[in-house]
Amino acid sequence: MASILKVDTIQDQSGNNIINENADTITIGASGDTVTIPTGASLTVPNGGLSGQNYPAFLAVKTSNQSITSGVATKITFDNEILDTDNAYASDTFTVPTGKGGTYFIGTLIRSTCGSANHYQYGFCRIYKNGSLLIDQILDLRNNPGLQVSYNNSSILVLSAGDSLEVRVIISDVSGSPNVEGNASNQESKFYGFRIGD
């Protein structure tokens, strides 16, 4: 014979809510609790049924070209925030918020040009953590100099709260006037990332 238990709240012996239903919202656990799905069990969530996953997340793009000095490491300005879930992106730098350390996917797309055709010699696209070089992408065109180069640099990183990330480039241009492009046919340079998990 089937039975039905009708309650709004289930509590532990200390009076803390374990399960609570209020205004069509079900809360499982209390602050500080860990909800565990045991080995062998599964949890199925329909597509779009979760919110807040992969946060913090950010995306910032350039809206105009940035002139840089040939051969000098230059911090890139990404002046238009498209996405910043935790207000963690400021002054062209992403800083991991308190309590949000973990594994992150971080990337940058840099579109660059030199002053004249066949003057682009070599370039570095770099991601710095806390002011120190972390990721480096190098393109050497000295045997076949060009005009335009795109860098697509990304990695999975383990970061701690307070870690800060920024993008710098070095471009060697014999004409002396390289730049990083912004808003070039909606293919602007960008800096982005999101938290994958612990």
Give residue-wise pLDDT tens across range 96-143: 999 999 999 999 999 888 877 777 888 899 999 999 999 998 877 766
Q: For residues 42 and 146, what is the distance between their CA atoms, to the nearest angstrom? A: 54
Tokens of 187: 């293919």
Specify the 3-state DSSP secondary structure of 71.
coil
Parallel, antiparallel, or unpaired: how do β-strands 9-11 and 80-84 relate?
unpaired
Whether 35 is covered by a domain: the verdict is: no
Report the domain count for the chain.
Answer: 1
Region of residue 50 (phi > 0: left; psi between -120 and 50: alpha; otherwise: beta): beta
Q: What is the DSSP letter of 99?
A: T
Cis ω before 97 (30° cut-off from 0): no
Its domain, for residue 178, covers 57-197
CATH number of the domain bearing residue 91 = 2.60.120.40
Whether 168 is covered by a domain: the verdict is: yes
Q: State the pTM of this model.
A: 0.77
Q: For residues 10 and 4, what is the distance between their CA atoms, to the nearest angstrom? A: 14
Q: Tens digit of pLDDT for each residue in 146-196?
A: 668 889 999 999 999 999 999 999 988 887 788 898 875 556 899 999 999
